Amino acid sequence: MANRGYYIQSKILHIPDRFGFLSPGPPSLQVFDVDGVIALLFYLSFMGSIEALVLIHSWLYEYFRWFLVYFFFGVNCELILGLWIITCIGHYFKRGHSEGSCTAGTVAEEKAQST
The CB density around residue 37, as the number of other CB atoms within 10 Å, is: 19
Global model pTM greater than 0.85: no
Tell me the pLDDT of the chain (115 aa) as tens digits: 888 888 888 899 998 887 788 878 788 778 877 887 888 889 889 988 998 898 898 888 888 888 888 998 898 899 888 877 877 776 666 655 555 544 445 555 565 666 6
Domain spans of the chain, in order of start: 2-101
Q: Are 79 and 45 in contact (CB under 8 A)?
A: no
Distance of CA 11 to the CA centre of its chain: 19
